[in-house]
A and B are shown apart, each in its own frame.
Chain A
Amino acid sequence: AQSVAQPEDQVNVAEGNPLTVKCTYSVSGNPYLFWYVQYPNRGLQFLLKYITGDNLVKGSYGFEAEFNKSQTSFHLKKPSALVSDSALYFCAVGNFNKFYFGSGTKLNVKP
């Protein structure tokens, strides 16, 4: 079965510290990989995607993600967290126009 796992329900980090939000997947073929962010009572906003090429992709608001094919992972990272980064983050994996979403990770950045 196709699946996307975000093993941490919640990640807590102090402002200014680096952050990592983890994502692993089990989807056949060579899927496309995405990160979305959801602020309270809002829809999902696109952050970044990996289709092909360089394993490190850069996206909006200073976020980046590293694709690791052997580990089937696509962890989201940011060198220095901001309080305004606090939100719900979803990893998504797309294949043949089907998109599989992780359960989401709540990021809390404390001042």
Chain B
Amino acid sequence: GAGVSQSPSNKVTEKGKDVELRCDPISGHTALYWYRQRLGQGLEFLIYFQGNSAPDKSGLPSDRFSAERTGESVSTLTIQRTQQEDSAVYLCASSSTRELFFGEGSRLTVL
């Protein structure tokens, strides 16, 4: 597609359940980022993929969070045993020329 696509757009889950969020980057973009945006707050870096290099996981808040990316295509962000504080919008962005292109985000609500 023309832009970064994220799914689901909205996810409501119960505390303790696992969730998977998906990101389809712009074709040809080698870099992919995940950010978290809590209500009324700025962007919190989670993880960065660049081509086939080892990802930069320095922003993942706990070992309940993990992400994968196959080559330069789709990425999935997995949150295990969700907690209420995980409620946020999870934004994915891809890049090829020092400029980030963002998806619409996945809004996660943990009850």
Contacts and interface: CB of A to CB of B under 8 A. Distances in A.
Interface stretch (A13-21, A61-69, A76-84, A99-107): A99-107
Interface residues of A, number: 21
Given A43-B103, A43-B104, A103 B41 contact: yes
B42 A34 contact: no
Contacts of B95: 97
A103 B43 CA distance: 7
Interface string B3-25: 01000000000000000000000
Nearest to A43: B102
A91 to B, nearest CB: 10
B43 A90 contact: yes
Contacts of B98: 32, 49, 51, 94
B77 to A, nearest CB: 15
Contacts of B56: 98
Nearest to A101: B43
Interface string A23-37: 000000000101010
Interface of A: 32, 34, 36, 42-46, 49, 51, 90, 92, 94, 97-104
27 contacts: A34-B99, A34-B100, A36-B100, A42-B104, A43-B102, A43-B105, A44-B93, A44-B102, A45-B102, A46-B101, A49-B98, A49-B99, A92-B100, A94-B98, A97-B31, A97-B48, A97-B95, A98-B45, A98-B48, A98-B56, A99-B33, A99-B45, A99-B100, A100-B45, A101-B42, A103-B42, A104-B42
